[in-house]
Amino acid sequence: MAKAFPTDNPFLHGYYGPVNTEADAGHLHITGEMPRELCGTLYRNGPNPQFAPRGPYHWFGGDGMIHAFHIENGNVSYRNRWVRTPKWELENKEGEGLSGTFNNPRYSDPRIFQMNSTIANTNIVWHGGKLLALEEAHAPFSLDPASLMPVNGGYETFGDKLNGPFTAHPKLDPKTGEMVFFGYSAKGRFTKEVSIQTVTEDGQITRAEVLDGPFPSMIHDFAVTRNWIVLPIFPLTSSMERAMAGLPPFAWEPDKGTHIAFIPRNGTVADVKWISAPPSYVFHPMNHYETADGKVVVDVMKFDVAPLFPLPDGKPSSPTTPQARLFRWTFDPSGQANTFKEEQLDDRAGEFPRFDERFCMSDYRHGWIVAGNVVDTRTGEPRMDGITHYDLKTGKNEAFAGEQADRFGEPIFVPRSDDAPEGDGWVLTVVWRGKEGRSDLAVFEATDIAKGPVALAHLSTKVPAGFHGNWRPGPL
């Protein structure tokens, strides 16, 4: 029997509280003028637990749910579906939650633990004609772009060539169509090895190696340039021993420092170069590229202390909620010095950086973030101020903020056309209207954020706090 969700966990209520219905709406009401040039689908993924979890719940541990907004001829339709993973299917059949967060064996039914199912709750990408729902511990889960139902059993293993887990943040090379990805805990749960792999646009894996890391770490994202794969090992560690003892499976251990691997795209992991750095944590870089003289630039939203995770003994990692700010890291991997340059680009807090993906791995000008703190880990109250646009060439920025109770999702850039200049297009984001308990799809002119949305598509229901999404152009 399905149990009520706990009342004492902030990530199960309010903006974070899951929706328990799947819906279809063919014609959302629109305020403003939806741009006629927009034709495609915005897919957004996030945690939405089907049932109350066993044991302590972490926001990162809910079942994936896809929210799809299709825009065509000025009309907006909406559909949401749970990602029907093996875990979801078994729990749906049993009518109750059977798993602990991160599939913690201390709390999970042996059937759930042994099936080692994805929850597919973090990102969703379109590559090689396939829509892939991602998290960072399992293979991608393939969905039909129109129905959002699993395709061919769901799991995409690229002809059974996939070696280990698959990151939620693969990098797509806009010049070659190649997808570069990694997977931490490559040799089993909470191990220090990291897989490094590439797959062509037609689904052929062309590289599969394993890098020996300094310690087991949660590696959420990475960077890729024309010549380098840049893999950061931050001191957010994992431990099976802690998990089995009822202590945090993932914990902040700053004494271990940060270690950044530079792996040649045209070499092997045997050619890796390591650069050490002070302890910090980065969930997401914005963009990454090489300068004319061979230096590597990575723009990041940097936390001094990893948020949302405690110390190994379970105590808070910081007396206040950590905040991320935009920094530029510049490396010289061809030089001899084991150092890097760090420059702070803005002092406002924020997260979920995005840019014009056509300029991935290239010098670029425009970027967007959700401005404000990610979340208050004690109350679950997010402090999102709105959307900020950065002009990185002029150093200027502008922002839009809604009502005090509004909460903004990740800003996703859509170009006006395939060959439009950088930044010429729109930014799409899902906004939760806290006073009304429902959500809107908001469309902004990408380089004129401050004037507010040019169009809003209104839902009567909520899209809960989520993670990442992407745009698939064209009709369904």
pLDDT digits (tens, 9 = 90+) for 450-472: 999 999 999 999 999 999 999 99
Give the mean model confidence (pLDDT) for residues 236-247.
92
Is 284 annotated as belonging to a binding site? Answer: yes
pTM of the predicted structure, to 2 decimals: 0.94
- Asked if residue 420 is part of any domain, the answer here is no
- Asked if residue 406 is part of any domain, the answer here is no
Contact 346, 326 (CB under 8 A): yes
**pLDDT tens, position by position, 393-444:** 999 999 998 888 899 999 999 999 999 999 999 999 999 999 999 999 999 9
- Asked if residue 442 is part of any domain, the answer here is no
Tell me: pLDDT of 377 over 60. Answer: no
- Asked if residue 413 is part of any domain, the answer here is no
Is 169 annotated as belonging to a binding site? Answer: yes
- Asked if residue 41 is part of any domain, the answer here is yes
Residues spanned by the domain of 139: 10-24+32-361
Q: What is the count of structural domains for the chain?
A: 1
- Asked if residue 263 is part of any domain, the answer here is yes
Tell me: pLDDT of 337 over 90. Answer: no
Is 58 annotated as belonging to a binding site? Answer: no
**pLDDT above 70 coverage of the chain, percent:** 97
Cα→Cα distances 116→99, 234, 243, 470, Å: 11, 25, 16, 26
- Asked if residue 443 is part of any domain, the answer here is no
Tell me: pLDDT of 58 over 60. Answer: yes
In this predicted structure, what is the pLDDT of residue 382?
A: 56
Tell me: pLDDT of 76 over 60. Answer: yes
Mean pLDDT taken over the chain:
94
In this predicted structure, what is the pLDDT of residue 104?
A: 83
In this predicted structure, what is the pLDDT of residue 381?
A: 61
Tell me: pLDDT of 379 over 80. Answer: no
**pLDDT above 90 coverage of the chain, percent:** 87
Q: Which of these ranges, 120-124, 164-168, 242-246, 429-433, has the smallest mean pLDDT?
A: 242-246
In this predicted structure, what is the pLDDT of residue 154?
A: 96
Is 389 annotated as belonging to a binding site? Answer: no
**pLDDT tens, position by position, 97-139:** 999 888 888 899 899 888 989 999 999 999 999 999 999 999 9
